[in-house]
Amino acid sequence: MTKKLNKDTIATRTGLETDSQHGAVVPPLYLSSNFAFKQFEKEQKYDYTRCGNPTRDILAETLAELEEGFGGTITSSGLSAINLVANLLGANDHVILPHDCYGGTFRLFSMLHEKKALRAHFVNQNVLSDFEKSIKKIKPKLIWIETPSNPLLQSVDIKAIVKLAKISKALVAADNTFLSPALQNPLALGADIVMHSTTKYINGHSDVVGGAVIAKTRKLHDQIQEWANATGVAGAPFDSYLTLRGLRTLNLRMNTHERNAMGLAEVLSNNKKVGAVYYPGLESHPSHLIAKKQQKGFGGMLSFELKGGLPAVRKFFKNVELFSLAESLGGFESLVCHPYTMTHAPLTAKEKKTAGISEGLIRISAGLEDLDDLIDGLRTGLK
């Protein structure tokens, strides 16, 4: 075929029929830590698994293709992927991050700032005029974005931020974990780096912790690969194999996650015990229009506020059915969590207030179960 393949086809068929030895349809799993030299003093593609591994490379190359980047690097976790990007900065380099970013991102950059490895600034990126002022003042080398945000699902305008980044010639790195490459492609909107916690939607089966960094240019990709090798953050071949298996059904899963999230958001919006509902698919959500413009879908995450605060939250978790009370997201199974005491625990009370995380807030990761069953389970919790 000469026509460029659709991304769904690429994700599903990647690496098939590449086994030259036995003609295996599914590419084999190479667990070997080392590869024998065919000839002394002659370089070959693989010698040692920290530096390169055929199973991991299929995953890296496929994610790079899906994100429209030059190359990908697979790491042992989402956070090691974030730390890998942080290696691009020195002690005098400034980075601007969203004040409501992932709790682990907040902790990592705060700690790096504390020990003077870089200069981190957490700002509200939602008001572009204020954000422009921050860029002019701070002159960052890196702008970190996470869109939509966790857990309120606020989107920032990636194209607008890329334009503002030119003021200080900053790199723009986007944490695209919440949407996956199936629903948003930040590089195509002008970003330089995309980061994923593949633990979430990309693997999608809640049995691997992993990460990925995809760079737009060869130069950036080479730098990132060099740091990955130097710091030894490479993902394990077996994890890559499982993640690749998950990736083959990504598009199918994202469609169902989204349909279920929308159904749950509608039910919650009509319940008297519920205050605000945060799902970008609802026209009432402040990011509805921007999400519609730059995303291919609204995703499978939502959150809502219980009017009765913490006591009501306790009751809800005791009674809710079919939703497991757990951190993480993006798996086949539906989850509920309490950001205030769980995912966002590293933030101080004041920081949580600024980020809009109240004690009555509950986050849902809509899984792949039947929607009517999920609605019943949710209603039992709200009784």
Ligand X SMILES: *Cc1c(COP(=O)(O)O)cnc(C)c1O
Q: Which residues bind ligand X (CB under 6 A)?
A: 77-79, 102, 104-105, 146, 150, 175, 177-178, 197, 199-200, 209, 211
Q: Strands 274-278 and 71-75: what pairing?
A: unpaired
Q: Strands 361-365 and 301-306: what pairing?
A: antiparallel
- The C-alpha atoms of residue 240 and residue 208 are separated, in whole angstroms, by 9
Distance in Å, CB of 245 to ligand X, minimum: 17
Contact between 260 and 367 under an 8 Å Cβ cutoff? The reply is: yes
Q: Is 352 a catalytic residue?
A: no
Distance in Å, CB of 198 to ligand X, minimum: 7
- What type of residue sits at position 281? G
Distance in Å, CB of 255 to ligand X, minimum: 20
Which residue, 126 or 274, is less far from ligand X as judged by CB? 126
Which residue, 216 or 363, is less far from ligand X as judged by CB? 363
- The C-alpha atoms of residue 88 and residue 142 are separated, in whole angstroms, by 9
Distance in Å, CB of 139 to ligand X, minimum: 26
Strand segments (E) across the chain? 71-75, 94-98, 119-123, 142-146, 171-175, 193-197, 211-215, 274-278, 301-306, 324-325, 335-337, 361-365
Phi, psi of 143 (to 5 degrees): -115, 120
Which residue, 134 or 197, is less far from ligand X as judged by CB? 197
Distance in Å, CB of 171 to ligand X, minimum: 18
Q: Is 363 a catalytic residue?
A: no
Token digits of residue 199: 């633990």
Which one from 157, 175, 192, 239 is the annotated catalytic residue? 175
Distance in Å, CB of 84 to ligand X, minimum: 12
- The C-alpha atoms of residue 263 and residue 281 are separated, in whole angstroms, by 10
Q: Is 175 a catalytic residue?
A: yes
Which one from 102, 201, 241, 279 is the annotated catalytic residue? 102
Which residue, 69 or 211, is less far from ligand X as judged by CB? 211
What are 121's strand-pairing partners?
96
Which one from 119, 200, 248, 363 is the annotated catalytic residue? 200
- The C-alpha atoms of residue 273 and residue 268 are separated, in whole angstroms, by 9
What are 34's strand-pairing partners?
48
Peptide bond into 148 cis (omega under 30): yes
Distance in Å, CB of 197 to ligand X, minimum: 3
Which residue, 201 or 381, is less far from ligand X as judged by CB? 201
Q: How far is CA 330 from the centre of its chain?
A: 9
Q: Is 222 a catalytic residue?
A: no
Q: Collect contacts of 324-329 with beta carbons under 8 A, ≥24 apart.
A: 328/199, 328/200, 328/206, 328/365, 329/178, 329/200, 329/300, 329/301, 329/363, 329/365
- The C-alpha atoms of residue 348 and residue 344 are separated, in whole angstroms, by 9
Which residue, 290 or 312, is less far from ligand X as judged by CB? 290
- The C-alpha atoms of residue 182 and residue 299 are separated, in whole angstroms, by 10
Classify residue 6 by its DSSP letter. P
Which residue, 78 or 339, is less far from ligand X as judged by CB? 78
Q: Which residues are annotated as catalytic? A: 50, 102, 175, 200
